[in-house]
């Protein structure tokens, strides 16, 4: 049966990749103050064990990468079970989301739909550099923060949207947006062969690093504004401490690239992604525990 995953399918679903998207969830959880515990647990499971892996698998099925991709240095050949399993995960995630609420189920559906439009050859948003960037920027960042926050509080998306709530979502988008083009920087040749004109291809290697630095700087400025509005500046200074190792890896990668352009590779991208993802996850966990 095509819905039963093979070893290759489980690898391409990249469940561990959800780790890098967890900071958005824990930022929302930490700011929610009053939380519906059951909803909070369900929302975590739905995003990280169903919706995100479904998106990864669906994308891999249509990309059919031969070179390294996120978390898979040597991806195995895909098979039909990857397509069926990714759809099964999506359907299960949406059905489970109904137990949280109809609005959250719609959010899960919209995220899944956009991931399909991003990957499917009939639309293939991935081949349009700025559109694909905006889809990831908005929907992996602000959209997930806003829908997660409201779901775990048991609130409607139609309720009032205070400034800090909007700002927190934009911060998440800037952090996601800063990382996204860096994950493409070593894939220019393979993406071009497929006809995908990614943002990193448009910007070039140097432009990709400048663009990411600008977005991360924007996230830092907005983080300052966010915590100053809440009179919690200790949280901002804690943020600056956590980004020191991230900046160290980022600058070291730039130095390597100045000497050797081949340093735009899977190994350095993986290190950058791991360090930044871990730093942000631990940071948001710490401020959640400090509340």
- CATH classification of the domain holding 126: 1.10.600
In a domain, 260, yes or no: yes
Cβ 154 vs Cβ 39: under 8 Å: yes
Opening angle at CA 16, ends 13 and 20, nearest 5: 115
In a domain, 89, yes or no: yes
Cα 288 from Cα 152, distance rounded (Å): 14
Nearest to 277 by CA among 180, 143, 201, 151: 180
Number of domains in the chain: 1
In a domain, 1, yes or no: no
pLDDT of residue 75: 75
- Helix, strand, coil percent values for the chain (each to nearest 5): 80, 0, 20
pLDDT of residue 182: 94
In a domain, 149, yes or no: yes
pLDDT of residue 291: 76
pLDDT of residue 66: 60
In a domain, 171, yes or no: yes
Structure tokens at 171: 């911060």
* Backbone dihedral angles phi then psi of residue 69, each to the nearest 5 degrees: -130, 175
In a domain, 283, yes or no: yes
Opening angle at CA 20, ends 12 and 152, nearest 5: 110
In a domain, 98, yes or no: yes
DSSP letter at 183 equals G
In a domain, 274, yes or no: yes
Task: Name the burial class of residue 74, with classes exposed (0-12), middle (13-18) and buried (19+) by CB atoms within 10 angstroms of its CB.
Answer: exposed
Cα 233 from Cα 28, distance rounded (Å): 18
Opening angle at CA 113, ends 121 and 278, nearest 5: 100
pLDDT tens across the length of the chain (291 residues): 566 788 888 888 888 888 889 999 999 999 998 899 999 999 999 999 999 999 998 988 887 766 666 666 677 788 888 999 999 999 999 999 999 999 999 999 999 999 999 988 888 898 899 999 999 999 999 999 999 999 999 999 999 999 999 999 999 999 999 999 999 898 888 778 777 789 999 999 999 999 999 999 999 999 999 999 999 999 999 999 999 999 999 999 999 999 998 898 889 999 999 999 999 999 999 999 987
Q: Which domain holds residue 62?
A: 7-290
pLDDT of residue 2: 62
């Amino acid at each position: 049966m095509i819905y039963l995953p093979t070893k290759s399918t489980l690898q391409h679903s990249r469940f561990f990749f959800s780790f890098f998207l967890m900071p958005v969830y824990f930022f929302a959880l930490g700011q929610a103050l009053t939380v519906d515990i059951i909803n909070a647990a369900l929302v975590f499971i739905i995003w990280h064990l169903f919706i995100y892996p479904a998106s990864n698998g669906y994308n891999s099925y249509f990309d059919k990468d031969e070179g390294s991709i996120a978390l898979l240095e040597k991806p195995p050949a895909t098979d039909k079970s990857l397509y069926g399993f990714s759809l099964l995960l999506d359907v299960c995630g949406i059905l489970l989301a109904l137990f949280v609420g109809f609005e959250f189920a719609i959010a899960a559906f919209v995220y899944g739909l956009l991931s399909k439009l991003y990957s499917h050859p009939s639309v293939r948003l991935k081949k349009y550099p700025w559109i694909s960037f905006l889809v990831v920027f908005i929907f992996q960042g602000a959209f997930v923060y806003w829908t997660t926050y409201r779901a775990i509080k048991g609130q409607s998306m139609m309720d009032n949207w205070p400034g800090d709530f909007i700002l927190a979502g934009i911060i998440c988008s800037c952090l996601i947006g800063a990382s996204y083009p860096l994950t493409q920087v070593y894939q220019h040749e393979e993406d071009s062969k497929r006809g995908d004109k990614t943002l990193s291809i448009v910007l070039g290697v140097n432009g990709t690093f400048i663009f990411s630095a600008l977005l991360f700087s924007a996230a830092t400025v907005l983080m300052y504004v966010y915590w100053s509005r809440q009179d919690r500046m200790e949280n901002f200074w804690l943020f600056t401490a956590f980004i020191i190792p991230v900046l160290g890896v980022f600058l070291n990668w730039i130095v390597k690239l100045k000497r050797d352009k081949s340093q735009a590779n899977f190994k350095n991208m993986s290190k950058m992604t791991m360090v930044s993802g871990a730093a942000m996850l631990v940071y948001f966990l710490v401020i959640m525990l400090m509340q």
